[in-house]
Amino acid sequence: MADGSDTTLTADKTAEQAPNGLVAGIKSFAAGHGGAKAVIEYVGKRGARIVLVGSDGVWADQFADDTDVARQACAQAGVTVENAWERELMDQMRPSNDLWRSMARRTMAR
């Protein structure tokens, strides 16, 4: 039997370069908020959403073509990627007043 698995696709996959604008955006966010951690979420045909949580609790998101590009962009930017939404990371997030207002408007409009 040959080494490796015939169902593994990682050997044939070529590494796609992360766009410079995406890497620069992640670096900029991390620098402006005392460091950051990221969670990458697959969002279907749209690609992957990178949710960045700064050390100060501010959060933002970026979009990549797929999860591999998102992971590569975070690695190039020096941002740690968390495997899942851990309680400590969620407790660190602080929604802005604008976000609270927009959520309240949506609830009141129902």
Higher pLDDT, 53 or 89: 53
**Whole-prediction pTM:** 0.69
Q: State the pLDDT confidence band at 11, using cuts at 50, 70 and 90.
A: very low
Q: State the pLDDT confidence band at 97, using cuts at 50, 70 and 90.
A: low
- pLDDT above 50 for 51: yes
Q: In what side-by-side order are the strands of the sheet with 36-42?
A: 59-64, 48-54, 36-42, 80-82
- pLDDT above 60 for 2: no
Among 21-25, 36-40, 53-57, which stretch is predicted with the lowest mean pLDDT?
Answer: 53-57
SS (H, E, C) the chain: CCCCCCCCCCCCCCCCCCCHHHHHHHHHHHHHCCCEEEEEEECHHHCEEEEEEECCCCEEEEEECCHHHHHHHHHHHCCEEECCCCHHHHHHCCCCHHHHHHHHHHHHCC
